[in-house]
Structure 1
Amino acid sequence: MHDTTTYLTTLRQELVASADPAHAIGQRGFFKEPINPLGVRAPELNALVARHWRTLKGLPTAQLLALCDTLWRSEVFEDPVLAAKWCGRAVPRLEPGAFDTFETWLSTRVGNWAHCDVLCTGCLGPLLLRFPDLIPRTRPWLTSPNRWLRRGAAVSLVPAARRGLLPGQVFPVADALLEDPDDLVRKGYGWLLREASKARPNEVLAFVLARRGRMPRVSLRCAIELLPPGQRARAMERA
């Protein structure tokens, strides 16, 4: 790829050709924030990601990140999703410095939960697994006024949690966000605990039981969703 402008024009044409305006209307209903989707459904979007990756995977890392940065500046809903998915495929070759780019996108470009989650689970999370020494750099996110950084502090640990890894990071983050006033942050750490319960059900149950008097119900219900029925019933009892 030699001409970024031409490439992005071609990419836009392919997205528009795959778009379903009726789906775009339905997408808007999932968000309280305003979004501008073309209406490309997930299978078509993922097929486009795979098809274009054959070209993009050969780009130097700096050029790939620059292209994705341009997509993150777009007002079109699908563009940052593409960028995150391509960067996610590139994580095995990325160096720790990519954290700065991902953090910038999270703090300045993300404006809805979908973009937060695709960036955190697809890019930041795998990067943190490769370079655990980067994890302390997410700690200031826990007290940030930016809701996406706070949600991101939890969601970026989802890839580790679902594999039973980094419990010394997962549970303290959930604890730090326990009484966060933002519903999307509460759902974010609830999701983190739910993923952790796949490999560490007893630890998640103990965490919930010790805090259920203070834990918002939306977080609690999400956290225990995959636990056995008896454990779920026990967790739902009023403290």
Structure 2
Amino acid sequence: MTPQTLRNEIVDYCREHGTEENIIKYARFFKEGFKGHGLTSPQAKELVAMLKKKPGVTVDLVIDTMPLMLPGGMYEEISIPLTLLDALHKQLTRQHFDAINSWFAKGIHNWAHADILGMMVLPKFIEKELITMQAFAPWLTSPYHFQRRCVPVTLIKSLKNASSFTDIFNFLEPLMRDPQREVHQGMGWFLREAWKNQPLETERFLLKWKEEAPRLIIQYACEKMTPEEKARFKRSKK
């Protein structure tokens, strides 16, 4: 199988099974606009399961196919290969991480694709000890805000294995001043999960940043707190 063959199989399936009704339904979740075929989640999972079983479908093939998918910006044509990478995660190498790094310039332009990478694919590189957290250091200052969002979302999985979050908090501090809403959401999500695991340590970090951080980060981080707990992290009145 070649990259063009894999691309054609994905596109043909999407065209056959997508609906205009689903396109309209999904569009409301993407303020930056939505281009897609209108596949349902079960249909997308079915296609990934089918492709995974095909002879010749490897991580290398998926990596080589992505440059054919990204420029078109069609939602399923990008999300299905990303999900397929997760299904084939045992084959991942450090070189594949370096390839993913280049995709944000070419077509990772919405929160959903960034979160498939951050929730599913990128944590596998850390779990397999192919990289450490420091591999994401250049991503913190990436010109692509969805690449910056990927960093805290990816590190959520690292919380379960960390006895202290100090190093992770220090690493992510540059994003506490990020100008983009989607990054605020990713950081707030990360801090909310951190609070569930280590509330005292997370609260110290939030108290340090409550006057400077964008309010959306604090809002997300405090989402599971009681009203009394949330009150501690309101900005001081000028």
**CA displacement, residues 62-96 of structure 1 (integer Å, 9 cap, x when unaligned):** 22322344333443111111111111122222111
Structure 2 equivalent of residue 45 of structure 1: 44
Q: How many equivalent pairs are there? A: 236
The residue correspondences of 1:199-238 to structure 2 (distance < 5 A) are 199-227=197-225, 230-236=228-234, 238=236
Q: 1:133 to 1:53 in 2, by over 3 A?
A: closer
Shifted more, 182-191 versus 226-235: the winner is 226-235
1:198 partner SS: helix
2:197 partner SS: coil
The residue correspondences of 1:5-44 to structure 2 (distance < 5 A) are 5-44=4-43
Shifted more, 78-87 versus 141-150: the winner is 141-150
2:146 partner SS: helix
The residue correspondences of 1:118-197 to structure 2 (distance < 5 A) are 118-131=116-129, 133-161=131-159, 163-165=160-162, 167-197=165-195
Q: 1:237 to 1:97 in 2, by over 3 A?
A: same
Shifted more, 6-15 versus 83-92: the winner is 6-15
Per the TM alignment, residue 99 of structure 1 is displaced from its structure 2 partner at its CA by: 0.9
Q: 1:49 to 1:227 in 2, by over 3 A?
A: farther
Give distance in 1, aligned partners of 2:138 and 2:9.
40
Per the TM alignment, residue 49 of structure 1 is displaced from its structure 2 partner at its CA by: 1.8
The residue correspondences of 1:94-109 to structure 2 (distance < 5 A) are 94-109=92-107
Shifted more, 116-125 versus 184-193: the winner is 116-125
Identity %: 25
**Structure showing greater relative contact order (alpha-carbon pairs closer than 8 Å, 6 or more residues apart):** 2
Q: Taking structure 2 as the reference length, what is the TM-score of the superposition?
A: 0.85
Amino acid at match of 1:206: R
Structure 2 equivalent of residue 111 of structure 1: 109
Check the 8 A contact 1:224/1:232 in 2, yes or no.
Answer: yes
Gaps of 5+ in 2: none
1:197 partner SS: helix
**CA displacement, residues 72-129 of structure 1 (integer Å, 9 cap, x when unaligned):** 3443111111111111122222111111111111343211111111122221222123
Matched, 1:54 2:56: no
Check the 8 A contact 1:88/1:122 in 2, yes or no.
Answer: yes
Q: 1:27 to 1:61 in 2, by over 3 A?
A: closer
Check the 8 A contact 1:72/1:83 in 2, yes or no.
Answer: no
Give distance in 2, aligned partners of 1:172 and 1:45.
38
Gaps of 5+ in 1: none
